[in-house]
Structure 1
Amino acid sequence: MELARLYKSLIDVIVAQAGSAALLHVHAGLAIYLVALLLAPHRRGAILALQVVLAAELGNETLDWLAATPHWTWADTLSDIVLTLLWPVAITAAGAWRRRRWRRMVVSAARPGVVSLSSTRRAPIATT
């Protein structure tokens, strides 16, 4: 419990200096996501980085709950989780969508008998 109160007092000092606690959740989520993405052991570490952000946020909310049990609310906790995970989830989803689209293009280009749009266009006739 003492650790939770110490953590809460440190967070309160940071919020007092920086401003909005909601904005700090957004920045912290992105910062943790980028650091985890850079440290990921494989090329596509976005899911792992997202899991690290989720674990960090759940740890943060657990410490908040332990430090402020009488004043703790579900609305604040859910808001903090959404704000922290919003951009990391969006970036991970956009990357997955782009990979899926790229794979479809590669597979369709590799199929024999499939004529691509660029090969059906007629070449211009040069006149001299």
Structure 2
Amino acid sequence: ELFSCLLSPGQSSVAGNSVTQTPASLSAREGQRVKLTCQYSSSYSSYALDWFQERPGKQPLFLIGRFSYNLERKSDSVAPRFSAQLDTGAKSLTLSIDGAQRADSAVYFCALWDPPWAGEALSDLA
């Protein structure tokens, strides 16, 4: 059995903020570890990056994300084998799927956004 996914769109950019997802597509055997990377650049002082999964005919499903100060957010419905690593130096958010399953076959995409309350949350953590 094969796991397969597409990353869509490959690259997008708005007002000095951009994301580039790699690889554009991949196939893996069930049980393998899969890594998808989202490279980003941002003009925001605080930002969030999220990974989504989209299956044919269904709404995109939020999987997991991280804020620029590295706090993680994860959907309650997402299996623990999904994880995300933020590297602010390399400007990348990597989605890892441990033990990929055929049911994981989908389109995956990342989103970069500027939470209106991010500065507040950041100061609360200080």
TM-score (norm 2): 0.22
Q: Could you say which structure has the higher helix fraction?
A: 1
Structure with a larger share of its residues in strand: 2
TM-score (ref. length: structure 1): 0.22
If asked which structure has higher relative contact order (CA below 8 Å, sep 6+), I would say: 2
